[in-house]
Chain A
């Protein structure tokens, strides 16, 4: 990470339109929790690799293949270092969803009937359905660590739920709906005290909070590229060395086998075991370049957004203490999709609906919420565009 925006810095301190060519001047892009605009450095790095001659990795025995392998390995090192570990613990998957599914698959044989998996009330479907499926297969149960009335994790009740039946705690580091930051180190300590593993979904957190897998105490952690200014189609799954040794790979095929006989096969050792098939080399290169350029959004912007939205009559804002980067809100008497549609027509991009976190959003609103999510390139003008257009829409709808 080269630069971090401080609270007293603004977008004008950086030439963001040069750094992010997809950042349109006629649009206030506030759907960054879905996907961020790509950093020029990621585009340049991928272009240099592709235009310079590409090859597969781990197969060819010619110099170009050797150079591709070097770039791929360097990318992996950068991504792993971003999370505070070395490359030997970093597996590339196509998405955070695939990474979480691969972890659930790999841990399934550790589960016995009656065992428990704890998830939080804040989970994205990716970190919920993957565990529900494995639990059903193994006769285990998925239990939900609850939310407080102020939309934070009820840590005391979460800790009280942990017992020797708890085998896995699977939890998001940052809610993709509310921006709530979950206390991962506390949960990790509590999980480890009862002999459970902790799996962390850092899909949202990676663009907003420092990620250090060791400091967090995570046994496994997943984050993706396209929410961190890199290309889509690639994510990092960080595993403990124990899990790398003991977990079964979800995907089998070329590239991950050690030996294949007429009636059997053995897997390669280490992370190679988990990367069956031709890898996304350009994705890894772009992901690494994006992480080298990442900065966290100005947290003062979120406060401004919350304050301004709360000033609009009929708008309800969900604002958990300590939340970062994301604000969910509703408009009285208006369906979120209608509002998002009208904002979109006016050049303001937000998301509406259940945000792939239906159990959580149903507690907030029966029809879903609107969500504005910030990135390093957003500034006060984006907030003003959202708020002024929303005021106008609400006013006309009431007229």
Chain B
């Protein structure tokens, strides 16, 4: 787990796509109360596709790394977002995450899906 933690830490601390987007089409926030994780995503939508993403995330390493991975993966047609699940997020992170931390893993995805549902 420690090696995985180190790998995730680099992703969790990455600055790419961080911070609010002033001209966002939509945004949403999701929280994981049990862990204190919180993730907000901002999306720019053009012709039914996500063309830009930014996010802010605080909380545990898994949640913050998941936010970074989800932000990268979100670019593209919005129809891809709704069916995504924790399994997809696991694949994106490429590490084994305990099922006990499912909510840490999926909080950023929930923020992304909540944003899409507002459109």
Contact = CB atoms under 8 A, between A and B. Distances in A.
Contacts of B2: 342, 345, 393, 396
B61 interface: yes
A19 interface: no
Interface size class on chain A is 10 to 19
Which among B5, B36, B61, B104 has the greatest number of chain A C-beta atoms within 10 A?
Answer: B36
A293 to B, nearest CB: 31
Contacts of A337: 35, 60, 62, 101, 104
Nearest to B34: A353
Interface string A385-398: 00000000100110
B60 A342 contact: no
Interface size class on chain B is 10 to 19
B5 A338 contact: yes
B1 interface: yes
Contacts of B1: 341-342, 345-346
Contacts of B101: 337, 341
A335 B6 CA distance: 14
Contacts, number: 42
A345 to B, nearest CB: 4
A338 B34 contact: no
Given A335-B60, A337-B104, A353 B5 contact: no
Interface in B33-61: 34-36, 59-61
Contacts of A367: 35-36, 59-60
A337 B35 CA distance: 7
B31 to A, nearest CB: 13
A150 interface: no
A399 to B, nearest CB: 9
Given A335-B59, A335-B60, 10 more contacts: A338-B60, A338-B62, A342-B2, A344-B98, A354-B34, A354-B36, A367-B60, A368-B35, A397-B5, A397-B9
- Sorted nearest first, the 7 A-B pairs with minimum C-beta distance are A335-B60, A345-B1, A337-B60, A367-B36, A338-B61, A338-B60, A342-B1
Interface of A: 335, 337-338, 341-342, 344-346, 353-354, 366-368, 393, 396-397
Interface of B: 1-2, 5-6, 9, 34-36, 59-62, 98, 101, 104
17 contacts: A335-B61, A337-B35, A337-B62, A337-B104, A338-B5, A338-B60, A341-B5, A342-B5, A345-B2, A346-B1, A354-B34, A367-B35, A367-B59, A367-B60, A368-B36, A396-B2, A396-B6
